[in-house]
Amino acid sequence: MKALVLTGQRTVSLVDRPKPEVSAPADVVVRIAQTGICGTDRSVLVGKFPAEPGVVMGHEAVGTVDSVGAAVTTHKPGDRVVVNPTLYCGSCPPCLRGHWDFCDNKAGTEVGLDLDGAFAEYLRLPGRFVHTLPDGMDFDRAVGVEPLACALNNVAAGRLRAGETAVIVGGGPVGVVCAMAAWHHGARVLLTEPDPYRQELCRAVFAADFGGRVTVHAPDESVLVQRGDVVIDTVGNLLEQGLAYAADRGRVVIMGYHSKASATVRPLEILRRGLEIIGAGDYNSRLFPTAIELARWLPLERLVTHRFPLERHAEAFAALAAAPGTPYSALKVVLVPE
């Protein structure tokens, strides 16, 4: 099969790989329909996030079941599924306490970063990480389920309540999904994004069905006059900006992964204004079925602005500003094996 593999020079190259087959009784092999390019994938290529050279990248995957191991009773060939790529070992101390999202072995269990992923024709993984889609949910909506699971976890970590104001920092796909999740919690949502083209893409997503309760802003004074009870930094290096956007007694959630970011905080400001800074990781796998249910009600397919075959991966990553000095020209880009 064709697969997109990370090279030692932090580029990707399309190679031939053996098709994965069921090897353990609990295995499921998924024939990939499409896979979203995540901000994390982009971060790997621009040197902001570690990954294992030689790995097949890609983790936001949907498709149909190709084959199942002898012990799999929950899936059969032909089932339409979405993949939960956040594997965990199940036996380390955090896992035994149910904190699967903080698995001690996480550094070796992320599909598409440490284990072979879904920018390929087929993907093999344990059946418990494969979820059947509700009837009628199309693949363009379902490809947003994994980002939605991240968003739900981080919105919940901020303890967002109906009637509050949420400021979502960053108008990329995760920011947009966070804004949808925050809106669903009953909040008024301000989404900030510096790139004018992305601002327009975001406005188009929220133009209908959200009751005018999600608005898009440049990161400037207009946000500072209406601060957030909850602020979510989906970029990962904007904590200082996030603190400035927070109302007194506000909760600032760091969501974006950025291995090189650092920030200066003034302890007295945290103390006097009663601010909280929260880190919540990506998501616990028990949230994944909740994300699938919620996806029935959120128009996640509006995020998909571009679709490319695997062969045209260079154009796909270029649309996400993965090359130095290039602007964003897309929201969510998906890769389709052919």
CB count within 10 Å of CB 79 equals 18
Beta strands in 146-187 (DSSP E): 165-169
- Residue 72 contacts Zn ion per CB under 5 A: no
CB count within 10 Å of CB 309 equals 14
DSSP 133: P
Query: Do 167 and 192 touch, CB atoms closer than 8 A?
Result: yes
Name which of 28 and 103 has its Cβ closer to Zn ion: 103
CB of 112 to Zn ion, least distance (A): 8
DSSP 24: S
Query: Do 34 and 307 touch, CB atoms closer than 8 A?
Result: yes
CB of 106 to Zn ion, least distance (A): 7
Name which of 146 and 164 has its Cβ closer to Zn ion: 146
What mask, x for binding Zn ion by CB under 5 A, covers residues 220 to 249?
------------------------------
- Residue 95 contacts Zn ion per CB under 5 A: yes
- Residue 45 contacts Zn ion per CB under 5 A: no
Name which of 40 and 192 has its Cβ closer to Zn ion: 40
Nearest CA-CA partner of 14 in 308, 306, 329: 308
User: 3-class SS at 254?
Assistant: strand
Only one of the segments 83-91, 177-185, 213-221, 243-251 lies at the binding site for Zn ion (rule: CB under 5 A); that segment is 83-91
Name which of 223 and 280 has its Cβ closer to Zn ion: 280
- Site residues (CB under 5 A) for Zn ion, limited to 146-205: none
- Site residues (CB under 5 A) for Zn ion, limited to 264-283: none
Query: Do 52 and 112 touch, CB atoms closer than 8 A?
Result: no
Name which of 144 and 228 has its Cβ closer to Zn ion: 144
Query: Do 27 and 124 touch, CB atoms closer than 8 A?
Result: yes
CB of 190 to Zn ion, least distance (A): 24
Name which of 92 and 156 has its Cβ closer to Zn ion: 92
Rounded to whole angstroms, the Cα distance separating 290 from 76 reads 22
**Cα dihedral sign, 298-190-257-36:** positive
- Residue 89 contacts Zn ion per CB under 5 A: yes
- Residue 111 contacts Zn ion per CB under 5 A: no
Name which of 136 and 279 has its Cβ closer to Zn ion: 279
CA 15, distance to chain mean position in Å, is 25
- Residue 333 contacts Zn ion per CB under 5 A: no
Only one of the segments 104-112, 134-142, 193-201, 261-269 lies at the binding site for Zn ion (rule: CB under 5 A); that segment is 104-112
Only one of the segments 40-48, 136-144, 184-192, 239-247 lies at the binding site for Zn ion (rule: CB under 5 A); that segment is 40-48
Q: Is 176 exposed, middle or buried (0-12, 13-18, 19+ CB in 10 A)?
A: buried
Query: Do 94 and 104 touch, CB atoms closer than 8 A?
Result: yes
Q: Which of 5, 32, 38, 151 binds Zn ion (CB under 5 A)?
A: 38
- Residue 103 contacts Zn ion per CB under 5 A: yes
User: 3-class SS at 199?
Assistant: helix
Residues within the interface to Zn ion (CB under 5 A): 38, 40, 88-89, 92, 95, 103, 105
